[in-house]
Amino acid sequence: MTITHRLVESAAGRVHLVEQGSGPLVLLVHGFPESWYSWRHQLPALAGAGCRAVAIDVRGYGRSSKPGDVAAYRMRELVDDNVAVVRALGERTAVIVGHDWGSVIAADSALLRPDVFRAVGLLSVPYAPRGGPRPSEVFAAMGGGDEFYVSYFQEPGRAEAEIEPDVRGWLAGLYAALSADTMPRGDAPDPHFVSPGGTLRERFPAGRLPAWLSEHDLDVYAAEFERTGMRGALNRYRNMDRDWEDLADFDGAAITQPSLFAGGSLDASTMWMADAIEAYPVTLPGLVSSHLLDGCGHWIQQERPEEVNEILTGWLASLS
């Protein structure tokens, strides 16, 4: 089965997507700092299971449009992009699956447009309804004397200045920092935080790529960000307060469509958000299954592609 690249129209200009297979549409949404390529193992598996698998470059990434205005990366606009893709492909509805930031985008797509997204799969980052204090206030209170990475990403240009002089090296360090076989152990400084006057990279492991990441894979990711820069990708973090305001009407809202969750037992996202997973009977009443992969890190569909493919195809079969 061949893979097809195409550009489709969206409110921001265009969305780049990669498509394989035919059948019910499954839209795959990546996280930070990744691209459609993060789904390279899932595209053929889903196509082989009788689905039309479509992986996008999220707005700000890869060959998709990159508006200059920070506010153009607010959640409502990313949801609109996903709807535009479904419509451009001649479909009325789709199943949406996301990883990392893509998990949040997928969840909010299902929440805001249940008429379009009939089921939602969430990888690595659990669903947590909108609520509580303003996000920037929560993040500012984390870390004691250190700065949480989300706060570090807020000021335009600051993180870019760290990353862009050596994109490939920085990506290699981040991927290793959050992978099961290369993440820092024991008393090593947490790579999610920045020391005063320091950088994130200072806490990344160096010298070894995780098993799931080949030199070629790293080259693919690095080439995209070397071409585009990091600003579009980082602008997603700079809209968390806007999203909190924009989604006020959905405070505490449950997602009722059929849903799936899978995360890694060694992923900080699943550990920090354990309460969100425990709340799924209330927040995801349509949950079909929830999986915690033992000994797996953050990049779940790349670290454990066969297991994730089995989970996804089994879930998708249950929807038909």
Q: CA–CA separation, 254 vs 48, rounded Å? A: 32
Question: Is the CB of residue 269 less than 8 Å from the CB of residue 122?
Answer: no
**Catalytically annotated residue among 16, 30, 99, 298:** 298
Q: CA–CA separation, 22 vs 53, rounded Å? A: 8
What phi and psi values does residue 220 have, to the nearest 5 degrees?
Answer: -60, -50
DSSP string, 19-81: EE--SSEEEEE--TT--GGGGTTHHHHHHHTT-EEEEE--TTSTTS---S-GGGGSHHHHHHH
Q: Which helix (H) or strand (E) holds 96?
A: strand 94-99
Q: CA–CA separation, 138 vs 150, rounded Å? A: 10
- Known catalytic residue: 298? yes
Q: CA–CA separation, 79 vs 92, rounded Å? A: 15
**Catalytically annotated residue among 80, 100, 108, 267:** 100
- Known catalytic residue: 100? yes
Catalytic residues: 100, 298
